[in-house]
Structure 1
Amino acid sequence: MPRISTALALSLATLATGFLLGACETVPTNNTSTTGTTATPAANSTTTGGSGQGLKIGTLLPTTGDLASIGQQMVGAVPLLVNSVNACGGVNGEPVTLVEVDDQTDPKAGAAGITKLATVDKVAGVVGSFASSVSSAAISIAAPNKVMLVSPGSTSPVFTEKAKKGDFQNFWARTAPPDTYQALALAQLANKKGFKRVSTVVINNDYGVGFEKAFVETFEKLGGTVVNKGKPVRYDPKAQTFDTEAAAAFAGKPDAVLAVLYAETGSLFLKAAYQQGLTQGVQILLTDGVKADTFPEQVGKSADGKFLLAGAIGTVPGSDGKALEDLKKLWQEKKGGVPGEYVPQTWDAAALLVLAAQAAKENTGVGIASKIREVANGVGVDSTQVTDVCEGLKLLKEGKTINYQGASGNVDIDANGDVVGVYDVWTVGEDGKLKVIDKVNPK
């Protein structure tokens, strides 16, 4: 799905608010028309935590839809952090309240959800969204309502471009690096493995198209050829059959096919390619959108019981932050197992919201936006590096400055709201299990 325009997002917001609440407060529409537009109402939300008098934050993450397999783990990180913060005294002397909304991996539902969070729940900050298309819709509503939006996974380069123009009024940041870096990492990986001719297939939204453009530019600079550059294959996120797209993506005998997909639709695409016999002798290159333990099973097995996806390789934003081991221990204690993909980035997004509110000494989006870079990057030589959020809150209450070192990385946020990260290289084994085999630092 193409990126939602600001005007459409605001129209969706107005309608969604009316649908959910009747005569409640709505965001300004800047004279945009709502004729003929129907918004998807937000899914049921869950509120946990404090009394409502202190800091209130929200999550806008996918527990259903195309990215649910990853989003369901991500959403568990924020209440874990909120409970930890409330156990050590909360923020600005009050417990933190959390309101959780499922964005359904859908921009319309995301627009309805952020409208509810901003105008009904009146949150100061939101962790979300994951899908770039949903965040595009959400930030158009969050910024005018002065709600700080911190995405743990929307990686489209579009956000960097818009931030440079001042579109977000500093109410946007992300703890996962933009795809300009991941595309560079994957292009370097393809070049290192000797692939000279690569074709691409991507989901037709901000994430897929942005990644495709960045990969093509980088891979060509490294001397490679993108076979279908003139006729890129971009599939409809709502599609259910993919025979035509599969044939087009594998045409021209490429050495490898870069597939930038979401899990639900991506599994159908890859299954169609395998069933047509298109994948023999072609390396499948994947990205973070399908990096879930359940994905090989979704794609399926051959008649002889072998996983179709065995041997595929991909990249995903890694986590190498100083707070990672502590998060792993807490996750094991409270939930069992290990945190999945993007959980560290989600934890860090929530951490930055509460630390910035404490630094600002006010529970508002304006306060958070004014201090989020300060707590993320540190100010001056006197800033104390902290990995523990409670320690950071304590120092901030004492009037000191901090430099938060996160679980995903050092989370230093630049003027455009971006961070630079490290990337894990992963592969699918013969047993269908995913394993990390290397790391790539894009240069």
Structure 2
Amino acid sequence: MKKPVSNNDLSYGLALQKPARLANQLPRRLSAFALAITTLTTGVLAVACQDTTSSSGGAEDGLKLGTLTPSTGDLASIGAVFPDAAQLAVDTVNQCGGVNGKPVGLVIEDSQTDPNAGAGGMTKLAEVDRVAGVIGAFASSVSSAALPIAVRNQVMMISPGSTSPVFTQQAKDGDFNGYWARTAPPDTYQARALAKLAIEKGFKSASTVVINNDYGVGFEKEFVSAFEKLGGTVVNKDKPTRYDPKATTFETEAASAFSGNPQAVAAVLYAETGSLLLKSAYQQGLVDGKTVMLTDGVYSDDFPQQVGKTSDGKFLLTGAVGTVPGAHGEGLEAFTNLWKEKTGKPVTAYVPHTYDAAVLLMLAAEAAKANTGEGIQSKISEVSNSPGQEVTDVCEAMELLRQGEDINYQGASSNVDIDENGDVIGDYDTWLVESDGKPKVTGKVSPDI
């Protein structure tokens, strides 16, 4: 979800390189205590990175992966379970022989939904932990900050949810050298799906309000274009409303977004800040007669709670509609059963996408016969596309690769056909906030217009 790398982000990442290199020069078998002292001495890593845990059983020269997802910050309500999904994939593969004959290790980093923390976390994963692949980031702004570090260190990144269209163009320009992919489709498609949903709802006019980063601005531009192609009018097209994610009050932005008497307001938000903006709009009486249209960034049971209720106990967001990348892969049913068995949790947004990202990294390493980022990068397209035997079961896929067979992994989130830009294409679920404050999936919408 999303912001280009700023000079500050790059400077922060570069500042982390020197202490990371020093840490790498220490003997491999330093005790955890000594490594902690070194990290504290550098000062910077101690601030940048959150608590890190590694899965048990990872051999020293076996495949090592990392996660860089939000356990805290603006997207924690969605992303806190992502490490569990990655760990489930790793545990499943380890139970059926690991990768290249050895167990896979997993290092978990909290991106904090913050580009600076994401840059620090990626530097640690790449230059201290020496991972070959990373599941993440989630926020597009964090991926933008972390990607240059990953590419420089030849670490393969597969994001379960950084959906900004910016990455497609950068991949076309050769910025990533193939070290980038994502299991969720870019917002080029979701914006079209939301515009199509608006037309299906009978809306002829709309306005937009978006978080001012890659995710929000990229989505806004695609939505405006798609809605106009379908015959709609965007009333604030010439003066779009974009809010600062670091702001604490949003009265002015709310008033701007809901002015001009639009039938609908397309709100591309993050949960913590977006809930404050919408609450302000309701408190100012701006929402009457207008439908709020939401996106994946706030698709959770928590968000309507955060926006709040009326004085008589009704959820303010009742009747709001939205879109979210759906999970419709051939492996979804089996994954859902496994997830519920192992975690006891419901399958929420982007959990299948996270699982698939981890699986693809491991399958590519096995196909390459190398536990390196270079090896993964060279095989990621091969294991996710035809030709090859279509397979949904991860252990079956690993066994086929060990036997020298070609595979076409069919994931839980989709068929995960990764194209030359690292993108996949998918359909979208539509959803409605019901009177009990729960978002309910109501159907599907295609991005084709």
**Hey, what's the Cα distance between the residues in 2 that align with 1:409 and 1:172?**
18
The normalised TM-score by structure 2 is: 0.93
- The equivalent of 2:286 in structure 1 is 278
**Hey, what's the Cα distance between the residues in 2 that align with 1:198 and 1:237?**
22
Does the 8 Å CA contact 2:385/2:409 hold for their aligned counterparts? yes
**Hey, what's the Cα distance between the residues in 1 that align with 2:4 and 2:208?**
23
Q: Which of 251, 256, 267 is matched with 1:259 structurally? A: 267
Say if 1:23 and 1:361 are closer, same or farther in 2 by CA, change over 3 A.
closer
- The equivalent of 1:194 in structure 2 is 202
**Hey, what's the Cα distance between the residues in 2 that align with 1:15 and 1:74?**
28
Does the 8 Å CA contact 2:4/2:213 hold for their aligned counterparts? no
Query: Superposition pairs for residues 94-109 of structure 1, below 5 Å?
Result: 94-109=102-117
Amino acid of the residue matched to residue 43 of structure 1?
A: Q
Query: Superposition pairs for residues 94-173 of structure 1, below 5 Å?
Result: 94-173=102-181
Amino acid of the residue matched to residue 392 of structure 2?
A: T
Say if 1:177 and 1:40 are closer, same or farther in 2 by CA, change over 3 A.
farther
Unaligned runs of 5+ in 1: 26-36
- The equivalent of 2:412 in structure 1 is 407
Higher helix share: 2
- The equivalent of 1:433 in structure 2 is 438
Instruction: Indicate the SS of the match to 2:81.
Output: helix
Say if 1:198 and 1:147 are closer, same or farther in 2 by CA, change over 3 A.
same
- CA deviations on 1:75-113 (whole Å, 9 max, x unpaired) are 210011111110100000000000000000000000000
Deviation, 1:441, is 1.5
Q: Which of 34, 40, 48 is matched with 2:55 structurally? A: 48
Q: Which of 345, 362, 381 is matched with 1:373 structurally? A: 381
Q: Which of 229, 237, 244 is matched with 1:229 structurally? A: 237
Does the 8 Å CA contact 2:206/2:235 hold for their aligned counterparts? yes
**Hey, what's the Cα distance between the residues in 1 that align with 2:304 and 2:16?**
37
Q: Which of 198, 216, 219 is matched with 2:224 structurally? A: 216
Say if 1:298 and 1:389 are closer, same or farther in 2 by CA, change over 3 A.
same
- The equivalent of 1:74 in structure 2 is 82
**% identical aligned pairs:** 63
Deviation, 1:7, is 5.7
Does the 8 Å CA contact 1:39/1:108 hold for their aligned counterparts? no
Does the 8 Å CA contact 1:12/1:38 hold for their aligned counterparts? no
Q: Would you say how many aligned residue pairs link Structure 1 and Structure 2? A: 429
- The equivalent of 1:313 in structure 2 is 321
**Hey, what's the Cα distance between the residues in 1 that align with 2:421 and 2:160?**
15
Deviation, 1:43, is 1.1
- CA deviations on 1:291-321 (whole Å, 9 max, x unpaired) are 0111111111000000000000000000100
Does the 8 Å CA contact 1:233/1:249 hold for their aligned counterparts? yes
Query: Superposition pairs for residues 282-297 of structure 1, below 5 Å?
Result: 282-297=290-305
Deviation, 1:18, is 4.3
Say if 1:368 and 1:21 are closer, same or farther in 2 by CA, change over 3 A.
closer
- CA deviations on 1:253-312 (whole Å, 9 max, x unpaired) are 000000000000011001000000000000000000000111111111000000000000
* Range 46-55 or range 231-240, more displaced: 46-55
Deviation, 1:17, is 3.9
- The equivalent of 1:88 in structure 2 is 96
Amino acid of the residue matched to residue 367 of structure 2?
A: A
Does the 8 Å CA contact 2:20/2:128 hold for their aligned counterparts? no
Say if 1:294 and 1:378 are closer, same or farther in 2 by CA, change over 3 A.
same
Say if 1:2 and 1:423 are closer, same or farther in 2 by CA, change over 3 A.
closer
Does the 8 Å CA contact 1:19/1:41 hold for their aligned counterparts? no
2:192 maps to 1:184: yes
* Range 51-60 or range 403-412, more displaced: 51-60
Deviation, 1:2, is 7.7
2:395 maps to 1:395: no
**Hey, what's the Cα distance between the residues in 2 that align with 1:12 and 1:204?**
21
* Range 43-52 or range 94-103, more displaced: 43-52
2:19 maps to 1:12: no
**Hey, what's the Cα distance between the residues in 1 that align with 2:360 and 2:397?**
10
Unaligned runs of 5+ in 2: 26-43
- CA deviations on 1:339-397 (whole Å, 9 max, x unpaired) are 11100000100010000000000000010000000000033xxx111101111010000
- The equivalent of 1:3 in structure 2 is 3
Amino acid of the residue matched to residue 135 of structure 1?
A: S
Instruction: Indicate the SS of the match to 2:191.
Output: helix
Amino acid of the residue matched to residue 163 of structure 2?
A: T
Amino acid of the residue matched to residue 387 of structure 1?
A: T
Does the 8 Å CA contact 2:2/2:140 hold for their aligned counterparts? no
Does the 8 Å CA contact 2:23/2:128 hold for their aligned counterparts? no
Instruction: Indicate the SS of the match to 1:307.
Output: coil
Amino acid of the residue matched to residue 429 of structure 2?
A: D
- The equivalent of 1:328 in structure 2 is 336
Does the 8 Å CA contact 1:16/1:41 hold for their aligned counterparts? no
**Hey, what's the Cα distance between the residues in 2 that align with 1:87 and 1:208?**
41
**Hey, what's the Cα distance between the residues in 1 that align with 2:189 and 2:350?**
16
2:359 maps to 1:351: yes
**Hey, what's the Cα distance between the residues in 1 that align with 2:236 and 2:134?**
39
Deviation, 1:51, is 2.4
Instruction: Indicate the SS of the match to 2:55.
Output: strand
- The equivalent of 1:386 in structure 2 is 391
Across the aligned residues of Structure 1 and Structure 2, the Cα RMSD in angstroms comes to 1.7
**Hey, what's the Cα distance between the residues in 2 that align with 1:386 and 1:24?**
39
Does the 8 Å CA contact 1:73/1:339 hold for their aligned counterparts? no
**Hey, what's the Cα distance between the residues in 2 that align with 1:135 and 1:261?**
17
Does the 8 Å CA contact 1:174/1:349 hold for their aligned counterparts? yes
